[in-house]
Amino acid sequence: MRTLVVAIAVVCLLAGSPVTPYAGAQPAAIKLGAVIPLTGRYGGGGAQVQVGYQFAVDDLNARGGVPVGGRRLPLALTVLDDQSDPTKTVSQFEVLAAQGATVFLGGFGSDLHAAAAAVAEKSKIPYCGAAFALHAVHEQGFKYLFSPFEKSPELGNETYRFLNASIPAGQRPTRVAIFQERTDWGRELGNIWTARSREYGYQVVLRAEYTPLSRDLSDIILRAKSAGADAVFALPTPPDGITLIRQMKELDFSPKLIIIIRAADAVSWSQALGKDGDGVLLMPGWHHSVRFPGVAELNAKHQRRFGRPADVLVGPAYACVQIVANAIQRAGTLDHAAIRDAIAATNTTTVVGPVRFRPDGTGIVPTVIVQWQSGQQQMVWPRDLGGVPLVYPLPAWRAR
């Protein structure tokens, strides 16, 4: 994975010259170009991201569009499917750059965002992407990459802060098994979970790597069971996460607590696993019950359209469009560099709460933790923003 992403980055940065937009008259619309995995291993998460983008575009256009240089311009969203393939992410964003995109919007999955960031830098087109937590991509000096989403350092720290604040000291799980996929993000977050564990009173008794899309995870599960792990931290793709839970049940490995980042985000989690998916914690960046301006309206719109509360990735995607529109209005132009500078100076409140950016493009945003409870995703952290009590400890599989 690292070799692929680095190769993509090098090719993108060296190939061609930056795109210069709008040499002539100002266009009739602000072109937002999004590349999203609508099919493949990330399809479930990508579908939520697309909904968030489209809802935000529709809402802003219903209000007359975005003021730019004395006139209001509508937003025009183009979405291309990269099929969860980083090489196709690159080629699709290059298509959007050639079509004169004003801003790029990212998809779902850290490896896809890492590939896209290099295209944005080469093209000098501002890029806003939620639903990815890989911090390493922000360490490459990219100036056009922005992500209003928690990164691995925040996720690692908040994991332990949340557990210690939510569970009395004598009842906490203390022996952690980390199941990390063999990717840049798997190693990055695994390192942080491990490095911070002792500071908060936890012991990592197993760190096990596996290849993505593995069909048999029994070896690492049995090793965790043998080590006496009473908590599991993992960040699998949706197919791997479902496999992991099913095989944990088959092998009767019942930890007190399970955190599965990314795989448990999609509604397909509960559809595939039923009661076995309950109790699992996820850190998706948002929840429809969080108390921020515009959330109730967004949730109501989603409920009318889909018959269920807004999915967890709809909010971060919606916020990306809010941030971009706010920056374009402040820039007063569709010039890429001016918009980039305006995004960097963001200090606004969105449906994910207040948002600012660090110099490396990482967002300063609230961390939200969600738990599957009775087939529904319920926010359990932060408690002061509407979180409900944590279900803990998890019952044994045979008791569900």
Give residue-wise pLDDT tens across range 66-121. 999 899 999 999 999 999 999 999 999 999 999 999 999 999 999 999 999 999 99
If asked whether residues 88 and 174 sit together in one domain, one would say no
Q: Parallel, antiparallel, or unpaired for β 353-357 and 347-350?
A: antiparallel
Give residue-wise pLDDT tens across range 304-350. 999 999 999 999 999 999 999 999 999 999 999 999 999 999 999 99
| Cis amide linkage into residue 393, ω under 30° from 0 | yes
What pLDDT was estimated at residue 266? 87
Report, as an integer, the average pLDDT of 193-207. Answer: 98
Q: How far apart are CA 273 and CA 109, in angstroms?
A: 22
If asked whether residues 79 and 143 sit together in one domain, one would say yes
Centroid of chain to Cα 35: 14
Which percentage of the chain shows pLDDT scores above 90?
Answer: 91
pLDDT band at 277 (very low <50, low <70, confident <90, very high): very high
If asked whether residues 165 and 249 sit together in one domain, one would say yes
Q: How far apart are CA 41 and CA 239, in angstroms?
A: 7
- Note down the domain range covering 186: 152-284+369-399
Using the CB atoms, write b or e for 67-102: b if 16+ within 10 Å: ebeeeebebbbebbbbbbbbebbbebbbebbeebbb
CATH number at residue 345: 3.40.50.2300
Total domains, the chain: 2
Give residue-wise pLDDT tens across range 109-118. 999 999 999 9
Give residue-wise pLDDT tens across range 18-61. 444 444 456 899 999 999 999 999 999 999 999 999 999 999 99
Which percentage of the chain shows pLDDT scores above 70?
Answer: 94
Q: Rounded to a whole number, what is the distance in angstroms from the first to the last CA of the chain?
A: 38
pLDDT beyond 60 at 3 = no
What pLDDT was estimated at residue 23? 42
Q: How far apart are CA 158 and CA 171, in angstroms?
A: 19
If asked whether residues 238 and 383 sit together in one domain, one would say yes
Q: How far apart are CA 361 and CA 137, in angstroms?
A: 10
Q: How far apart are CA 86 and CA 110, in angstroms?
A: 10
pLDDT beyond 90 at 5 = no
If asked whether residues 78 and 173 sit together in one domain, one would say no
Predicted TM-score of the model (pTM) = 0.90
If asked whether residues 253 and 375 sit together in one domain, one would say yes
Which residue, 116, 188, 127, 184, is CA-closest to 154?
188
If asked whether residues 144 and 201 sit together in one domain, one would say no
If asked whether residues 80 and 182 sit together in one domain, one would say no
Residue recorded with tokens 């489209």: 54
pLDDT band at 172 (very low <50, low <70, confident <90, very high): very high
Give residue-wise pLDDT tens across range 118-152. 999 999 999 999 999 999 999 999 999 999 999 99
If asked whether residues 52 and 81 sit together in one domain, one would say yes
If asked whether residues 109 and 229 sit together in one domain, one would say no
If asked whether residues 280 and 340 sit together in one domain, one would say no
If asked whether residues 134 and 37 sit together in one domain, one would say yes
